Amino acid sequence: MKIGFIGLGNMGAPMARNLMDSHEVVGYDPSAKPDGIPLAASATLVAKDADVVITMLPNGEILQSVSNEIHPVMPSGAIHLDCSTVDVDSARYVADKAATHGLKAVDAPVSGGIGGASNGTLTFMAGGAPDAFAAVQPLFNIMGQKAVHCGDAGSGQAAKICNNMILGVTMIATCEAFALADKLGLDRQAMFDVVSTSSGSSWSMNTYCPAPGIGPNSPADNDYIPGFAAELMLKDLNLSQMAAAAADADTPIGQAARDLYADFVENEDGRGKDFSSMLPRFVARHHEN
């Protein structure tokens, strides 16, 4: 396939490199110029001859703008595969605009972080028509280890938002529990050994433990240099609460997690650190009546 790749940041660049072993890839990013990826001078030049255009962009507003720019020049029948994490309405906007230009669209945000992008082990959660999903399945197989077709346009974003709301909530609960264990005099290793094999186990505890030196290697063991930055978790929790408001869903714990990450990122020292760096924040704080 001829693939155009727009958005070559920390996630997009390694995804594009993995595709280059099997496909013809040309990339574009207005600021990032990663080594080893053929680059075009504009998004439209990337898109005009592509069978598939992949976008990995920061937010829905930018995605809509790029879509309006590239859809008119893409060949009829081509596919816009968006791997950004954005609001559901933006994903549906892209799908509607694509259809007006005789194109197909798939919204397929990812889970797995920078490591998953580099190693080709991402999970994709996809929304869109079944035939469009089937057409890009070979690309998912290169960039990731699993792709789930979740339903119509926007369903991929809905799945990602729900997943990451759980992730944010469980990471906060895990950090709170370690901080409480410290104050109760419970050894962190003993805490991990119990919880990781008991009913409190979770991905946040077992795979991505926020306590340094406990469990598998994680950002906690690297001074909380981000695998998934706190400000990106805040972005996803903001999306979850936007979606909850639009759908009239009651998500008080998701809202509480959003508020804690907002305070951490905007008023404390969380920006630029991994989202698991909530642990030292809770350890340093005291119970407030």
Q: Could you read off the pLDDT of 87-112 as tens digits, one per residue?
A: 999 999 999 999 999 999 999 999 98
The answer on pLDDT for 220 being more than 50 is yes
160 counts as catalytic: yes
Pick left, alpha or beta for residue 223 (phi over 0 → left; psi -120 to 50 → alpha; otherwise beta): left
Over the chain, what is the mean pLDDT?
Answer: 96
Rounded mean pLDDT, 125-146: 97
End-to-end CA distance of the chain: 61
- Please indicate, yes or no, whether the overall pTM of this predicted structure exceeds 0.85: yes
Tell me what pLDDT residue 232 has.
94
Residue 278, CB-side half-sphere exposure with 13 Å CA sphere: 32
Spatial contact of 241 and 249, defined as CB atoms under 8 Å apart: no
Q: Which of 97, 104, 160, 273 is catalytic?
A: 160
Domains for the chain: give ranges and CATH numbers.
2-153 (3.40.50.720), 158-284 (1.10.1040.10)
Residue 39 to residue 196: CA distance in whole angstroms: 45
- pLDDT at 199 exceeding the cut of 60: yes
Segments in 50-129 forming alpha helices (H): 60-70, 88-100, 113-119
Tokens of 89: 């309405």
